[in-house]
Structure 1
Amino acid sequence: MFKEVKLECVPREKNSNADALAKMGSQQEAVLLGSIPLEVQEIPSIPEIEIMQVDEAPKETWMTPILAYICEGTLPEDKFKARRLRYQAARYVIYDKVLYKRGFNQPLLRCVDKEEENYILREVHEGICGNHSGVVRWQ
């Protein structure tokens, strides 16, 4: 995670090299090749840092008991909860290591946790899908 991020706007007139490179990349014939100064960088411009991998313990979600039962056959000790879990898990399937719910005459429904749910709702309402347009009323 970054401690600080700095964004700097470079005006177009002061960024002619990047503009020429972008134009060259979009053309099939490199007409501008002679006018662009190219530099080959032998060593990295920033020092290489050592990165430690952080292993997070898997989070407990509503899917955890279902996954444990389907993958490992693990059931709760309480007989009532175990019977309920077996009945519930019959409606789910794992495909490519992802849990899906089977529906009657429906496609498989991908199961998500709270974080993914929040992300999906934000993207649909204000992200890649554009603004949420609401209900269209025909008159």
Structure 2
Amino acid sequence: MEHVPRERNQEADRLSQLSTEEYGTMQDSTSVEWVAEEAFRAKEVMYNASEGEGRAPGPWYQAIWEFLSTEDLPGDPPVANKIQRQSLRYTLLDGAFYRRSFQGPLLKCVTREEGLAAVEEMHGRMYGSHVNSKTLTQKMLRSGIFWPFVAKDA
């Protein structure tokens, strides 16, 4: 590794200042290339109740999904009570299952496999952020996806 004095490192200085300036106000001839690339690619999940024999698309939210879509509860009172309480944090919109977050938008609920694929895309690509698990978890939630083990899997 070689130390480069600030006087000879103007390009790096200019790049570090780009995030605080508006695009049209740059004074010198710094060229900016915009890369339009999604942070992750979510798989579309289609669900047809007649084909799925009444099963929900994801195992971890199956009972809540069924309660929200049909309002049917299991016969066991403690289990039914738990599902009713948990369902207050979730909603169905246009056939998609979302969790209500405390601070931001609705979080799309995904299966663990889809979540791990999103972690790989956010963390492991060439342009991915190589951060610790807590920061990656927060980034995943800000991007709008959720599964119960997001913190453990990140």
Change in 2 beyond 3 A, CA 1:65/1:79: same
Identity %: 28
Structure 2 CA distance, aligned partners of 1:56 and 1:74?
17
Aligned to 2:71: 73
Report the alpha carbon displacement of residue 105 of structure 1 after superposing the two structures with TM: 3.5
What amino acid maps onto 2:113 in structure 1? Answer: E
| TM-score for the superposition, normalised by structure 2 | 0.46
Per-residue Cα deviation, 1:85-136 (whole angstroms, up to 9, x for no partner): 0011011111121111112242111111111111111111123x7233336x
Aligned to 2:62: 64
Report the alpha carbon displacement of residue 60 of structure 1 after superposing the two structures with TM: 5.0
Aligned to 2:140: none
2:130 matches 1:133: yes
Of structures 1 and 2, the one with the larger relative CO (CA 8 A, separation 6+) is 2
2:124–2:130 contact (8 Å) kept in structure 1: no
Instruction: Name the SS for the 2:105 alignment partner.
Output: coil
2:58–2:111 contact (8 Å) kept in structure 1: no
Across the two proteins, how many residue pairs are aligned to each other? 80
More helix by share: 2
What residue ranges of structure 2 are gaps of 5+ in the alignment? 1-50, 133-154
What residue ranges of structure 1 are gaps of 5+ in the alignment? 1-54
What amino acid maps onto 2:74 in structure 1? Answer: P
| TM-score for the superposition, normalised by structure 1 | 0.50
